[in-house]
């Protein structure tokens, strides 16, 4: 049995986040049907489930790229549904499957751009911060390269550095390793595990069951817009209660 590595520390500024009874439909398609999700400050909640179950939509409702039809989103216990959505999104670092780095900018400029434009840092201060973040993801040596000259795994680590440079209070990962060649997945997962260990609050959508089991404090299994089971990883993986989760695990493990 692996012990969750994120036990204990809470990094400075990490927050708790709760989604309460979230509903969202696109036309007749009920994509979220009363989803409850929680991540405590400094902890990691992993969301697993089949394709189309509403995982990405859940993240987009939590950061208000979509407004829920019903339900609430709370940070440190306070509803943020009335807050300015742009400001809210600055507090949440997002890492997607497709990293979308600017190809014609250097790696350092990609990381420095947000802090300069959105946090108002000077060019020099933003570059210093970018170099610092690149160091934490092990890519200082690539600061002045173009993203196209990096491997997919390195580009994803730059995307993580870019998100961290904005000093987020919580990080969302949406299938961050799904587009990577298999040999590059490990390095990115290791970086995510390190981040969890520093006490960053994280919500991670992933198909990497090894990561879900070893790094998460809480796992949430979604199907058809509902949370079917949730709990500590050992409980879900070793003794799934529902047939749907048993079936899902038999397909992915
Ligand atoms: P997952 O990330 O679990 O694969 P998604 O959240 O991407 O699932 O999608 C869940 C459902 O919501 C799917 O049926 C998808 O077609 C639908 N959906 C997602 N985004 C939109 C959108 N912007 N407009 C209409 N339907 C959408
Ligand atoms: Mg998705």
- What was the pLDDT predicted at 118? 94
149 Cβ inside 6 Å of ligand 1? no
**Where do the domains of the chain lie?**
17-251
57 Cβ inside 6 Å of ligand 1? yes
- What was the pLDDT predicted at 8? 57
CA 30 / ligand 1 centre spacing (Å): 10
- Kindly report the number of other CB atoms within 10 A of residue 148's CB atom: 9
CATH dotted code for 17-251: 3.40.50.300
CA 194 / ligand 1 centre spacing (Å): 30
Kindly report the protein residue whose alpha carbon is nearest to atom 7 of ligand 1: 56
29 Cβ inside 6 Å of ligand 1? yes
Query: Which ligand lies nearest the alpha carbon of 47?
Result: 1
206 Cβ inside 6 Å of ligand 1? no
Q: Could you list the pLDDT tens digit for every one of the 253 residues in the chain? A: 344 444 457 777 899 999 999 999 999 999 999 999 999 999 999 999 999 999 999 999 999 999 999 999 999 999 999 999 999 999 999 999 998 999 999 999 999 999 999 999 999 999 999 999 999 999 999 999 999 999 999 999 999 999 999 999 999 999 999 999 999 999 999 999 999 999 999 999 999 999 999 999 999 999 999 999 999 999 999 999 999 999 999 999 8
């Amino acid at each position: 049995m692996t012990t969750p590595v994120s036990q204990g520390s809470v990094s400075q500024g990490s927050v708790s986040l709760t989604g309460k009874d979230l509903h969202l439909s696109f036309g007749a398609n009920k994509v979220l049907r009363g989803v409850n999700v929680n991540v405590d400050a400094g902890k990691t909640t992993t969301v697993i489930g089949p394709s189309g179950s509403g995982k990405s939509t859940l993240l987009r409702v939590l950061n208000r790229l979509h407004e829920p039809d019903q339900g609430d989103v709370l940070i440190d216990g306070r509803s943020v549904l009335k807050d300015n959505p742009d400001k809210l999104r600055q507090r949440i670092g997002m890492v997607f499957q497709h990293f979308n780095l600017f190809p014609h900018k250097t790696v350092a400029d990609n990381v420095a751009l947000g802090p300069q434009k959105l946090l108002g840092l000077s060019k020099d201060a933003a570059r210093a911060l970018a170099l610092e973040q690149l160091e934490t993801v092990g890519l200082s040596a690539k600061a002045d390269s173009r993203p196209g000259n990096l491997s997919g795994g390195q580009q994803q680590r730059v995307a993580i550095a870019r998100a961290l440079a904005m000093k987020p209070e919580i990080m969302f990962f949406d299938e961050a390793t799904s587009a990577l060649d298999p040999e590059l997945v490990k390095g990115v997962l290791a970086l995510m595990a390190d981040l969890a260990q520093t006490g960053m609050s994280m919500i991670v959508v992933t198909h990497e069951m090894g990561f879900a089991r070893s790094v998460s404090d809480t796992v949430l299994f979604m199907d058809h817009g509902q949370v079917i089971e949730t709990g500590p990883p050992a409980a879900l993986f070793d003794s799934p209660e529902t047939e749907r989760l048993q079936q899902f695990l038999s397909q992915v493990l």
